Amino acid sequence: MTGEQFRSLGYELIDFIADYHDTVADRPVQSLCEPGDVAAQLAAGPPEHGDGLTSLIDDLSTVIVPGLTHWQSPTFHAYYPANASGPSILGELLSAGLGVNGMNWATSPAVTEVETRVMDWLVDLCGLDDGFRSTSDGGGVILDSASSALLTAVVAARFRAVGHRPAAELCAYTTAQAHSSVLKGMRVAGFADDQLRIVDHDPVFAMQPEALAAAMSADADAGLVPFFVTATVGTTSSCAIDPVPVIAEISKKHDAWLHVDAAFAGSAAVAPELRFVNAGLDQADSYCFNPHKWLLTNFDCTAFYVRSQQALTSSMRIVPEFLKNAASESGQVIDYRDWQVPLGRRFRALKLWMVIRWYGAEGLRTYIRHHVELGRGFDAWIVEHPSFELVAPTNLSVVCFAHVDGNERTKHILEQINEDRAHHLTHTALDGRYTIRVAIGSVRTEQVHIEALQADLAALA
């Protein structure tokens, strides 16, 4: 592809993306495709000769877009959001365009130094404690996902507990409300499933600290080693918030590593009045949240902080001859390859840098407050409606509710809502109760979209 060809197709694609965003609200939010529909429209084998991407825009419009669920639609309230704002999309493009691999400082100093600066900016923006700044013993890194952050934290915690060896005596703790990535991370790190203890939660789906204390003490008394606790701030099902300050005290007694997963909720901390989400973080060994969920930054971008850079890097660092270089050996630079599982790393920090510069602290606060306000309004509507009731308290902008007639009726309503493709909602089960979740946090969601959802729910109630 020549520079001229790149320019011409590139301009066309930027127009295509801009048009897509301008019209996404008018599309059925969930794809109408049946299994195999998209594949049936693709050539069975690769072309022998390049086709020059002729008719690409047509193919995108007729084959690809109809096969999408429109996560950027203002009526997408399923799962948790996946924010893609203009500046972040351009940052992503720039990252691909520059095409560098920032595995070590020396392989592209700007990749490391922008990332370090942006992670420190997030400490300021979210009001995190100074122990997560790059200038302290700790610091932050951008990973691909909260799941990777969890795995990385487990590996660091195991190393701190027993070094690099299999560890049948180690026990980890979380609740059934924690994300499945906790169990997955433990499995990937080589632990047996029963090394993860499931601690009871309370009626609002938060960890019961007494149950944690009892489980850890029982294990310690039995000669086992409690080594890792995952607390969740904003659980996936109901956005419940574990009591991190007291969990931190209990963890400390056993010298267990405390990881706090605030994948969705952490972004709320850009608004000072919502910093209850930070409670106890100053006692955590590691912490992560996903700007790619709720901070206007497109997937993938997980902010992962550790209290001790050394605890993390000593668990991860392997220095083969081909990676040795003077800068690393000087001890003056950060090599983020030692903060993650993969070696290679792309320039993810660019998109966060562009998002923060574009919106500023004020723009980010306004954005989060807007969704929280919409969530409160929707919560009040559910409370007032005679046929619906809340199944969990509304934290931030996540509303969990059910029909008063029970699970079958609730399930039917959800199916009807999604059938029409005007809104996209998903469900969960909360202590056996079939629950509809409305997670408000898409870039274009406004009051009018919530009112339309209320009208459709009321018609089905």
**Hunting for tokens 């979210």 — which residue is that?**
126
Asked if 181 touches ligand PLP (CB under 6 A), the answer is: yes
Is residue 293 within 8 A of residue 368, CB to CB? The reply is: no
- Give the number of other Cβ atoms within 10 Å of residue 167's Cβ: 18
In the complex, the smallest distance separating the C-beta of residue 285 from ligand PLP, rounded to whole angstroms, is 17
In the complex, the smallest distance separating the C-beta of residue 142 from ligand PLP, rounded to whole angstroms, is 12
For ligand PLP, the closer of residues 261 and 335 by Cβ is 261
Pairing of strands 286-289, 302-306: antiparallel
For ligand PLP, the closer of residues 27 and 424 by Cβ is 424
For ligand PLP, the closer of residues 95 and 236 by Cβ is 236
Residues that bind ligand PLP (rule: CB under 6 A) add up to a total of 15
For ligand PLP, the closer of residues 103 and 182 by Cβ is 182
Within positions 295 to 314, which residues make up the interface with ligand PLP, using CB under 6 A? Answer: 302
Asked if 232 touches ligand PLP (CB under 6 A), the answer is: yes
In the complex, the smallest distance separating the C-beta of residue 265 from ligand PLP, rounded to whole angstroms, is 8
The one among 236, 278, 286, 309 contacting ligand PLP by CB under 6 A: 236
The one among 147, 152, 278, 298 contacting ligand PLP by CB under 6 A: 147
Question: If we measure between CA atoms, which residue out of 369, 414, 368, 372 comes closest to residue 391?
Answer: 414
d(CA 28, CA 399): 23
Helices marked H in 24-145: 56-59, 86-98, 109-126
Is residue 3 within 8 A of residue 37, CB to CB? The reply is: no
Which range in 81-89, 230-238, 399-407, 430-438 contacts ligand PLP by CB under 6 A?
A: 230-238
Pairing of strands 257-261, 196-199: unpaired
Which range in 48-56, 199-207, 231-239, 342-350 contacts ligand PLP by CB under 6 A?
A: 231-239
DSSP state of 133: S
Question: If we measure between CA atoms, which residue out of 93, 118, 160 comes closest to residue 304?
Answer: 118
Asked if 174 touches ligand PLP (CB under 6 A), the answer is: no
- Give the number of other Cβ atoms within 10 Å of residue 201's Cβ: 22
The one among 227, 264, 289, 305 contacting ligand PLP by CB under 6 A: 264
In the complex, the smallest distance separating the C-beta of residue 239 from ligand PLP, rounded to whole angstroms, is 9
d(CA 344, CA 135): 24
Within positions 86 to 145, which residues make up the interface with ligand PLP, using CB under 6 A? Answer: 145
In the complex, the smallest distance separating the C-beta of residue 198 from ligand PLP, rounded to whole angstroms, is 16
Asked if 159 touches ligand PLP (CB under 6 A), the answer is: no
In the complex, the smallest distance separating the C-beta of residue 292 from ligand PLP, rounded to whole angstroms, is 7
For ligand PLP, the closer of residues 83 and 302 by Cβ is 302
370: tokens are 């807007």
Asked if 242 touches ligand PLP (CB under 6 A), the answer is: no
For ligand PLP, the closer of residues 83 and 107 by Cβ is 83
Asked if 261 touches ligand PLP (CB under 6 A), the answer is: yes
Within positions 312 to 371, which residues make up the interface with ligand PLP, using CB under 6 A? Answer: none
Asked if 146 touches ligand PLP (CB under 6 A), the answer is: yes
Within positions 57 to 86, which residues make up the interface with ligand PLP, using CB under 6 A? Answer: 80
d(CA 207, CA 176): 9
For ligand PLP, the closer of residues 264 and 359 by Cβ is 264
Helices marked H in 189-322: 209-221, 244-253, 291-294, 309-316
In the complex, the smallest distance separating the C-beta of residue 261 from ligand PLP, rounded to whole angstroms, is 5
In the complex, the smallest distance separating the C-beta of residue 177 from ligand PLP, rounded to whole angstroms, is 9
Phi, psi of 305 (to 5 degrees): -115, 145
d(CA 403, CA 135): 52
Furthest-apart CA atoms within the chain: distance in Å: 71
For ligand PLP, the closer of residues 123 and 149 by Cβ is 149
DSSP state of 223: T
- Cα separation values, 14 from 18, 24, 72, 331, Å: 6, 15, 16, 42
For ligand PLP, the closer of residues 181 and 251 by Cβ is 181
In the complex, the smallest distance separating the C-beta of residue 375 from ligand PLP, rounded to whole angstroms, is 16
- Cα separation values, 85 from 298, 300, 359, 372, Å: 7, 13, 10, 19
129: tokens are 């404690």
d(CA 342, CA 145): 13
For ligand PLP, the closer of residues 69 and 136 by Cβ is 69
Pairing of strands 398-403, 433-439: antiparallel
Asked if 191 touches ligand PLP (CB under 6 A), the answer is: no
- Cα separation values, 54 from 1, 9, 59, 134, Å: 13, 10, 9, 48
In the complex, the smallest distance separating the C-beta of residue 77 from ligand PLP, rounded to whole angstroms, is 14
| Residues lying near ligand PLP in the complex (CB under 6 A) | 80, 145-147, 179, 181, 232, 234-236, 261, 263-264, 290, 302
